[in-house]
Structure 1
Amino acid sequence: MERPLNVPGIAYGGDYNPEQWPEEVWAEDMRLMTEAGVNMVSVNIFAWALLEPSEGVYDFTRLDRVLDLLHAHGIAADLATPTAAPPAWFFRAHPEALPVDMNGRGLSYGSRQTFCPSSPAYREAALRMARALGERYAGHPAVVMWHIHNEYGCHNAECFCDTSAQAFRRWLRARYGDDLAALNDAWGTAFWSQWYYDWDEILPPRATGTDHNPTHRLDWRRFCSDELLSLCRAEREVLAEAAPAVPATTNFMVMYNFDALDYWRWAPELDIVSNDHYLRSTDPESEVDLAMHGDVVRSLAGGLPWLLMEHSTGAVNWQPVNRAKKEGELRRNALAHVARGADGIAYFQWRAAKAGAEQWHSAMLPHAGTDSVIWRDVVALGADLRALAEVRGSTGTAETAIVWDWDARWALELPSQPSEQVRFLELTRSWYEPLWRAGVAVDFVRPDADLSAYRLVLAPSLYLVDDAGAANLTAFAERGGTLAVGFHSGAVDENCHVRLGGYPGAFRTALGVRTDELFPLLPGETVGLSGGGTASLWSERVRPAGAETVASYTDGPLAGVPAVTRHAHGAGAAWYLATLPDRRTLAALLTRIREDAGVRPVLSDVPPGVEAARRRGSDADYLFLIDHSGAGAEVAVAAGSVELLTAQPAAHGSVTVPPGGVAVVREPHGT
């Protein structure tokens, strides 16, 4: 059953927490939301203690008034189940529901997400709350979407208590067909005398003397993701019973510092994919991180539009140093998300809190009130989003895909690797960034995805891959595509077992190379590359087995050994990067690879410092041009185009992108 979001144009708003304020403030909220162009807010996210003051006793009077007030002012509600923050009375009644860390230390309530995901008492209470909300508000005219929980796994992705141990064993029995011998084989338990003779001998990977069995740890990560997913799915089913036509979402956290959940498994459970994204104060080019993760979220949504459920108007409150945003950054950030497929922009939160753990987190209405830069920017952004209403529903246009896999990420970052400096996210970003700078559209895919829409597939970091995924990627090259693989990929199978016979394991034949020994580089160490440039992080003794050498090491213990190769494989080509070239060299290499594949950027000539992205609609394309240089630019566009933010035709076949500003161009099809 298709359940679209019933909000006109681009959704705009934020988390609205009226319970934090006296009721006389609410009227001002409505007036200011109208002034800012807010048309949807998320409500009730952390209100459990007020809705259910004691077990089974509900008080919906406040929420009734809030929803009625929103509807009277034409503002839609994304109504949350407040299950991310159980009240104190629940934990007093069910102390066994509190989480336990890997050191066996029991944690207390007093913050949020202080529950064990496997707790039967928590599940019962959460579903009871979801059912009460669903039955009461299924027909309320303000409610256009259910917001399930909030940021699953943000603080309790793992619990190591005995209840979790029992749930882990149940999950393992289902995964291995109730066959303990199959588990022993998959985990390689003959090593270190870890063989299990009874399911009850298996524990979560609690603190121990040294490193855990890697497959044990990997299966634990899979279990933890699935255990939280089962909670989300259960709430979704309760809400669907009460309101079959209302779509449901939960806010993902596809951002630099969160990797707890396998969102490829989560996304199909939701009607609308949404995401929270925050910038790092220490990242000098956070616009790259924003774009990359926006592309990941659009890909999780199957290429369809998605919602930005949380972002910040200025500083956050949870980094060592929380900086305010620079002039124009709020607007650039928001419209960059729209460029990457977001059909909604929302913030945490509407009104900055004066008390509580997040009192120093920025908001749409800051502590300073309406006489502030943030407020003026928020109002201006509302006008921008109204001007972009027609963009809603348009999709991406990528011919390039990057392989992104949570199993591979988890496995790569387990202990006892050849180098702990090799990190999935950093490697992926290093390959993504040159494409972003060149204005090349990028999707992200699972290893087993349908690749027929792409000319080029990149696997910067695919340490773990199963046989089906490896076969899918190599078949892509055989059929005429261009495949590029990064070092230490294909090394292990889905059970973290090393693929024997030489590296890069699953991809040896397609890449036409064989490595017999790895030579990771020390921090700060570099080696030269033929043709110029240097490389860092990794090297290996590659022997061509049909591949041609594109670049070799010029010094170090592997001088003269291939570092980059290309192999004709079937009707296509397969490239191997056995090291990490410096930024300039990697950019030139990726340009050569994509040109070899016939991939063009969205614009033939992107001015330096200008981000270019395109969304495709039924009658027109929408070209987003975002200046990060501060210099502005004049950009050639198709004849007959209109710049939507100013409603001005593109005179003389070009548009002006103001310094630090944004232009959004409607390019009619057929021009």
Structure 2
Amino acid sequence: MADRSAWPTGRRIGYGGDYNPEQWPRETWDEDVALMREAGVNFVSVGIFSWALLEPREGEYNFAWLDDLLDLLHGHGIAVDLATPTASPPAWFFAAYPDARVVTRDGTILGFGSRGMASPSSSAYRAAAVRVASALASRYADHPAVVMWHVHNEYGAPVGQDYSEAAVGAFREWLRDRYRTLDALNDAWGTAFWGQSYGDWEHVGAPAATPSVANPAQSLDFARFTDHQLRACYIAERDAIREHAQQPITTNFMANECPTTDLWAWAHEVDIVSNDHYLTAADERGHVGLSLAADLTRSVAGGRPWILMEHSTSAVNWQPRNVAKRPGEMARNSLGHLARGADVIAFFQWRASRRGAEKFHSAMLPHAGTGSRIWREVRELGRDVSNLAELQGSTVAAEVALLWDTESFWAQDLEWRPSVDVRHRERVRAYYERLWRDGVTTDFAHPSADLSRYRLVVAPASYLLTSESAENLRRYVAGGGTLLVSFFSAVVDEHDAVHPGGFGAPLRDVLGLLVHEFLPLRSGTETRVAWADGVLGDAGEVAADTSQEDLALEGAEVVASHLDGPAAGSPAITRHAFGGGTAWYVSTRLDIDALAPVLRAVYQDAGVRRPDLPDDVEVVVRNGPEADYHVAINHGEHDVKVQLADGVELLSGERVTGRLGLPAGGVAVVRTSAERRVRGDHRA
């Protein structure tokens, strides 16, 4: 049997995007495929929002237009990712099954007329979704254009949690399966607090709007339940397709942008991991956020190549201020994903829509047509992608892992924590960006995963840490690893209950300390941290904010201390030798610049070597069986030179002998015979 985890169209990089021809007259289709050939498009996704056209009335299917479309695409050598249209049920469905509508936490019933999903707990929705998926797979399983299947679209966006009657009933059954008895449920949820104990399963509901804060353990379980229900919908459709078809099956994640899905759990259910990514316009360093999403996607894929199913050629339409991409930015974004493991580069969408909510969303073929800058860049990128075919199947290796645990994030971001300013997303980004600026390629890993291959593991936001995961980290450090833990970590268990022994107790022996009290700072308060003599050289003092902690040391050495604030004179950063390794603890919020001297010292402990790269230049290496590929991207405004091993620059065909000239905003891909340490040169 063919490997379903591999990009299924041979030795080439996929290039294309969502194609929605149902929005256009038939004669436009012929123009589209001709222009696709001109642009180098070899891959499109079709049918994502076409349920009303495919099944205009319940049980009555119209496949004629799709037959024509698939034949047309295949005749022009364009591979198809055929989607099930279940992200947007038709009007007749909601008229026939009004109880399938989503209900918000405050009881509002969401109606028809937008995109999104019916209640994932609705039996009527599940049945209808399986029927249309089965009908499509039965008809097109052997069509030569179809190389893979695409279930639904962006599960959890825009609809995640649902509080409908069907959802409440399903939640109750999910809890019965999880806990078996009410005594176990009451114990896990700590219902003795505020007199919330349950004596009858029928009294257990969802954490809907309440007079005060809902039970946090109940809210955490409802987040788990929501993820389970969404994934069950995917599995039902996937299995219906698999009864007829053997091509790979995927669904498009939104990596770090969709908080209702636990990607580690989802990755086990797809044949190929695929992701959608859009720049956050308000983020002036959006290229770092892009790298984070790409590294996370690759990690969820187990290091295997993955598919960038959607990104944008320029501006999107759904943010408060939709900033357009500047010349060359689309190529940098696309090849940034390629550098970090993507074997397919695709966009939303092929042709810009004239009508509907996304008419201001950019496209490969924009409203301005083939005379536009965007079209020229789309053609140029298609040419470049075709020149990079040999990268297909190569992989990325990393020496550093950053812990990512969705369940911990769900728990940390609930109400009534010590400070609203302590958010998981901010700390993950800060530590990731420090690593990015230091030129250190980073994987993401779950705290329970095998970490033995990493020299350094960073835990920026591990508020919820199970005893099993803590034991895993203990083994990692004892075995010689280096662990860096940020503040407000190892606080609660899987039920959001404080660990016996206090804050940080599961890592007490590893870190050589215990946290006695959290000391949040008032908004706008800034404190100072000073390094102990001789520990970090001439690092001097740095600013901190948001929070301090009252630490009781139990063997850890003081690396830096607070000069002011409620913890003045107390340890701020510690280091502790444990077994064959070392564990660091940073008990306050340092910004990206202030983290630099800390990470320098941690790298030294871990044996991680930093490449010497110019500012805002990234170099990522993809390793193939016969060659390595160094993808160098200059996000800065100045020309630079980067020291590389001798090789060939694949986009130009030119030889590189040691020093690669990289213009401002430029990208280069250098094939070398063996992986070498990348060195930078600030001279232009």
Q: Give the Å deviation of 1:409.
A: 0.3
Match of 2:549 in 1: 540
| Mapping for residues 208-357 of structure 1, pairs under 5 Å | 208-244=210-246, 246-255=247-256, 257-357=257-357
Letter of the structure 1 residue corresponding to residue 230 of structure 2: L
Match of 2:109 in 1: 106
Task: For 1:610 and 1:103, locate their aligned partners in 2 and report how far apart those are by CA, in whole Å.
Answer: 47
| Mapping for residues 453-472 of structure 1, pairs under 5 Å | 453-472=453-472
Task: For 1:632 and 1:501, locate their aligned partners in 2 and report how far apart those are by CA, in whole Å.
Answer: 55
What is the SS of the residue equivalent to 1:269? Answer: coil
Q: Give the Å deviation of 1:452.
A: 1.4
Q: Is the contact made by 1:7 and 1:40 (CA closer than 8 Å) also made in structure 2?
A: no
What is the SS of the residue equivalent to 2:670? Answer: strand
What is the SS of the residue equivalent to 2:615? Answer: coil
Task: For 1:606 and 1:450, locate their aligned partners in 2 and report how far apart those are by CA, in whole Å.
Answer: 30
Match of 1:512 in 2: 512
Task: For 2:88 and 2:421, locate their aligned partners in 1 and report how far apart those are by CA, in whole Å.
Answer: 36
Task: For 1:592 and 1:7, locate their aligned partners in 2 and report how far apart those are by CA, in whole Å.
Answer: 46
Letter of the structure 2 residue corresponding to residue 60 of structure 1: F
2:569 is the alignment partner of 1:560: yes
What is the SS of the residue equivalent to 2:128? Answer: helix
2:135 is the alignment partner of 1:132: yes
RMSD over equivalenced CA pairs, Å: 1.1
| Mapping for residues 457-496 of structure 1, pairs under 5 Å | 457-496=457-496
What is the SS of the residue equivalent to 1:580? Answer: coil
Match of 1:656 in 2: 661
Q: Give the Å deviation of 1:555.
A: 1.1
| Mapping for residues 144-155 of structure 1, pairs under 5 Å | 144-155=147-158
Letter of the structure 2 residue corresponding to residue 496 of structure 1: D
What is the SS of the residue equivalent to 2:593? Answer: helix
Of the candidates 574, 577, 601, which is equivalent to residue 592 of structure 1?
601
Task: For 2:36 and 2:176, locate their aligned partners in 1 and report how far apart those are by CA, in whole Å.
Answer: 52
Match of 1:32 in 2: 35
Match of 1:184 in 2: 186
Greater mean alpha carbon deviation, residues 530-539 or residues 132-141: 530-539
Task: For 1:219 and 1:114, locate their aligned partners in 2 and report how far apart those are by CA, in whole Å.
Answer: 21
What is the SS of the residue equivalent to 1:559? Answer: coil
**What do residues 278-312 of structure 1 show as CA deviations (whole Å, max 9, x unaligned)?**
11111010011000111000000000010010101
Q: Give the Å deviation of 1:585.
A: 2.0
Note closer, same or farther for the CA distance 1:361–1:670 as it changes in structure 2 (3 Å cut): closer
Letter of the structure 2 residue corresponding to residue 646 of structure 1: S
Q: Is the contact made by 1:428 and 1:460 (CA closer than 8 Å) also made in structure 2?
A: yes
Task: For 1:502 and 1:218, locate their aligned partners in 2 and report how far apart those are by CA, in whole Å.
Answer: 21
Task: For 2:337 and 2:376, locate their aligned partners in 1 and report how far apart those are by CA, in whole Å.
Answer: 20
Q: Give the Å deviation of 1:595.
A: 2.0
Match of 2:208 in 1: 206
Letter of the structure 2 residue corresponding to residue 424 of structure 1: H
Task: For 1:595 and 1:33, locate their aligned partners in 2 and report how far apart those are by CA, in whole Å.
Answer: 50
Q: Give the Å deviation of 1:114.
A: 4.2
Q: Size of the alignment, in residue pairs? A: 664
Match of 1:159 in 2: 162
**What do residues 41-94 of structure 1 show as CA deviations (whole Å, max 9, x unaligned)?**
000000000010101100100000000000000000000000001100111111
What is the SS of the residue equivalent to 2:520? Answer: coil
Q: Is the contact made by 2:639 and 2:664 (CA closer than 8 Å) also made in structure 1?
A: yes
2:606 is the alignment partner of 1:606: no
Task: For 1:16 and 1:505, locate their aligned partners in 2 and report how far apart those are by CA, in whole Å.
Answer: 53
2:201 is the alignment partner of 1:195: no
What is the SS of the residue equivalent to 1:483? Answer: strand
Q: Give the Å deviation of 1:504.
A: 1.9
What is the SS of the residue equivalent to 2:661? Answer: strand
Q: Give the Å deviation of 1:537.
A: 1.3
**What do residues 15-34 of structure 1 show as CA deviations (whole Å, max 9, x unaligned)?**
00000000000111011100
| Mapping for residues 84-95 of structure 1, pairs under 5 Å | 84-95=87-98
Note closer, same or farther for the CA distance 1:670–1:264 as it changes in structure 2 (3 Å cut): closer
Task: For 1:470 and 1:115, locate their aligned partners in 2 and report how far apart those are by CA, in whole Å.
Answer: 39
Note closer, same or farther for the CA distance 1:231–1:335 as it changes in structure 2 (3 Å cut): same
Letter of the structure 1 residue corresponding to residue 376 of structure 2: R
Of the candidates 651, 665, 670, which is equivalent to residue 645 of structure 1?
651
Structure 2: unaligned runs, 5 residues or longer:
531-539, 677-684
Moved over 3 A (4+): none
Match of 1:386 in 2: 386
2:582 is the alignment partner of 1:580: no
Match of 2:681 in 1: none
Q: Give the Å deviation of 1:670.
A: 7.3
Letter of the structure 2 residue corresponding to residue 661 of structure 1: G
Structure 1: unaligned runs, 5 residues or longer:
none
Q: Give the Å deviation of 1:225.
A: 0.4
What is the SS of the residue equivalent to 2:68? Answer: helix
Q: Give the Å deviation of 1:329.
A: 0.6
Q: Is the contact made by 2:480 and 2:582 (CA closer than 8 Å) also made in structure 1?
A: yes
Greater mean alpha carbon deviation, residues 487-496 or residues 609-618: 609-618
Q: Give the Å deviation of 1:494.
A: 0.5
Task: For 2:594 and 2:20, locate their aligned partners in 1 and report how far apart those are by CA, in whole Å.
Answer: 50
Task: For 1:532 and 1:210, locate their aligned partners in 2 and report how far apart those are by CA, in whole Å.
Answer: 42
Q: Give the Å deviation of 1:383.
A: 0.8
Q: Give the Å deviation of 1:132.
A: 0.3
What is the SS of the residue equivalent to 2:9? Answer: coil
Q: Is the contact made by 1:107 and 1:114 (CA closer than 8 Å) also made in structure 2?
A: no
Task: For 2:380 and 2:209, locate their aligned partners in 1 and report how far apart those are by CA, in whole Å.
Answer: 52
